[in-house]
A and B are shown apart, each in its own frame.
Chain A
Amino acid sequence: MKRTFLFATAIVVSFLTPWARSADPLELKLPNTKGSFRFAVIGDTGTGDQRQRDVGAMLERYREATEFETVVMMGDNLYGGESPKDFRDKFEVPYAPLLSKGVKFYATLGNHDNPNQSSYEKFNMKGQRYYTFRPRDGIRFFVLDSTYLDKKELDWLEKELSVSGSEWKIAYFHHPLYSSGETHGSAIEIRKVLEPLFLKYGVSLVLSGHEHFYERIKPQKGIQYFVVGGSAKVRKGDIQKTDLTAKGYDSDNSFMLCEIDKDTLYFQAISRTGITIDSGSFERVDAPKAQSAAQ
């Protein structure tokens, strides 16, 4: 019954979103290597409006091309209310084509999200405000609640990082530790408690949202940071000129695709209308302490 609903919704959505029907060829920059792990990143999504549906439709086109099975969400999953109708309109409908194909979404909590979202079946948080998951051997995600980093959460994070033997450690949460946004900027107090742990245990990649744009930060102390918070809202012209920015995009909505193949992560940021706005690759951080802990 649920599958039928999602399938029917997927068909309706595909007719309502012009980008989904576009015959333009996709500009796929990822190597799309057989056996690699591919995932998508979206942030600040929960508006339920046409822009969110456009991004959802473009995501589906790239899923068809890359067959990613995982989407990570940077928070602010539902704006302005959390009734059953809100869950449908602001999540299930925009991503119906993906959900109907069995793609799994893993959410984090933003400042607009009630913690009870952690029990919602399709966010895969299993009732936890912060959690970890390993989609593939050697790759582990650490998902944090950055609105309320109490000692319990920080102790949990350190323990999980210390025992993880995964070569790829990826953290994501709502508030960016580095950002050139005029509206919010870098979350410096949060950085003070998280960055030392990321450095100590060899986190390679940190993803966040909150700012309604895309920004790739120049590597900070060897860690690669991305802000992906423009997947439904966009703050045009909000990226200020700073020394942090490697690439910024604040003129339309966007999302990001990633592909991990052995020690390399490839990324491609894409606009709502399918324009590639950034792409590249980097190697993972070596983490001798974490590796020795796993041996």
Chain B
Amino acid sequence: MKFLLAATLLISSILCAADDVRLKPFNDAVAKYAAIQKTAVAKAPALPKEATPEQIVAQENSLVATIRLARPRAKQGDVFTPAVLPIFQKIIKDYLSGSVNKENRDTAKQGNPKYQKEKGEKDPVMKVSAIYPKSASLSSVPPGLLAALPVLPMHIEYRFVGSTLVLWDNLSNLIIDYIPGAAPSL
């Protein structure tokens, strides 16, 4: 019994280490984006913790301009590279597919623009460096799935739009990258 447990732990740690190596391009790309974001924040008009709506909008506009300038040729797959796609797809499948994951799927449908749209709201246009519109709803992400996905720096989030997994900059509202059909069950 002890041998089995030790073997399981060893195998899972080897698999985790393997995933860590395979995820390196993703983590590097995210870190690179976070650095661009940080520089953009430094250049933008200062945003006090008690800001006016005008100050919020001014900062967002500045961030959008600076980040787009810094990533002029950014395209889908730059961050979610082909090498890391299977890892994300597997994690998402583990948490969202099958009858045992119904409650996780229900969570990911909450606020998901495909399922919850208020009058007059439009779906976000899936394009790298496009703005995720403030009029569109934001999906919940199941806490268990969030814990399983690679950890992101502050101000970068995972969200779902339909079955697409979106990497989203919550300061500028820019779409950083996305995986179409990442969650076929949604």
Interface flag for A69 (CB, 8 Å): no
**Contact between B47 and A146 (Cβ–Cβ < 8 Å)?**
no
- Chain A 172-209, CB within 8 Å of chain B: the 1/0 string? 00010000000011011110110000000000000000
**Contact between A121 and B134 (Cβ–Cβ < 8 Å)?**
no
- A114, A120, A151, A193: which has the most chain B beta carbons within 10 Å? A114
Q: Which residues of A contact B107 (CB under 8 A)?
A: 187-190
Known A-B contacts A84-B52, A119-B50, A187-B107; the reply to A146 vs B134 at CB < 8 A is no
**Contact between B103 and A189 (Cβ–Cβ < 8 Å)?**
yes
Interface flag for B19 (CB, 8 Å): no
Q: Interface residues of B, CB < 8 Å — how many?
A: 40
Q: Which residues of A contact B146 (CB under 8 A)?
A: 148-151
**Contact between A120 and B53 (Cβ–Cβ < 8 Å)?**
yes
Rounded to whole Å, the gap between the CB of A277 and the closest CB of chain B is 25
Rounded to whole Å, the gap between the CB of B54 and the closest CB of chain A is 5
Interface flag for B147 (CB, 8 Å): yes
What is the chain A residue whose CB lies nearest that of B145? A189
Stretch from B21-29, B79-87, B136-144 forming part of the interface with A = B136-144
Rounded to whole Å, the gap between the CB of A87 and the closest CB of chain B is 4
How many residue pairs at the A-B interface have CB separations less than 8 Å?
109
**Contact between B103 and A80 (Cβ–Cβ < 8 Å)?**
no
What is the chain A residue whose CB lies nearest that of B48? A119
**Contact between A175 and B171 (Cβ–Cβ < 8 Å)?**
no
**Contact between A120 and B140 (Cβ–Cβ < 8 Å)?**
no
Q: Which residues of A contact B103 (CB under 8 A)?
A: 188-189
**Contact between B137 and A116 (Cβ–Cβ < 8 Å)?**
no
From the candidates A84, A127, A185, A187, name the one contacting B53 in the complex (CB within 8 A): A84
Stretch from B1-9, B37-45, B64-72, B113-121 forming part of the interface with A = B113-121
Complex alpha-carbon distance, A210 and B103, angstroms: 17
Interface flag for B135 (CB, 8 Å): yes
Rounded to whole Å, the gap between the CB of A115 and the closest CB of chain B is 5
From the candidates B49, B135, B137, name the one contacting A119 in the complex (CB within 8 A): B49
Interface flag for B62 (CB, 8 Å): no
Rounded to whole Å, the gap between the CB of B11 and the closest CB of chain A is 24
Q: Which residues of A contact B97 (CB under 8 A)?
A: none
Interface size grouping (class) on chain A: 35 or more
Q: Which residues of A contact B56 (CB under 8 A)?
A: 82, 116-117, 119-120
Interface flag for B111 (CB, 8 Å): yes
Q: Which residues of B contact A79 (CB under 8 A)?
A: 118, 135
Interface flag for A81 (CB, 8 Å): yes
Interface flag for A111 (CB, 8 Å): yes
* Docked complex: B133-161 residues within 8 A CB-CB of A: 134-135, 137-144, 146-147, 151, 157
Rounded to whole Å, the gap between the CB of B175 and the closest CB of chain A is 14
**Contact between A114 and B104 (Cβ–Cβ < 8 Å)?**
no
Complex alpha-carbon distance, A151 and B59, angstroms: 28
**Contact between A83 and B50 (Cβ–Cβ < 8 Å)?**
no
From the candidates B54, B106, B116, B134, name the one contacting A189 in the complex (CB within 8 A): B106
Known A-B contacts A83-B57, A111-B139, A112-B137; the reply to A127 vs B49 at CB < 8 A is yes
Complex alpha-carbon distance, A291 and B49, angstroms: 32
Interface flag for A11 (CB, 8 Å): no
**Contact between A188 and B140 (Cβ–Cβ < 8 Å)?**
no
Interface flag for A126 (CB, 8 Å): yes
Q: Given contacts A80-B120, A111-B116, A175-B110, could you give 16 more A-B pairs where the C-beta distance is less than 8 Å?
A: A80-B135, A86-B53, A111-B137, A111-B138, A112-B111, A114-B170, A116-B173, A120-B53, A148-B140, A149-B143, A151-B146, A187-B110, A188-B103, A190-B140, A190-B143, A192-B144
A-B CB proximity, top 6 nearest: A111-B111, A121-B50, A84-B53, A87-B53, A127-B49, A189-B107
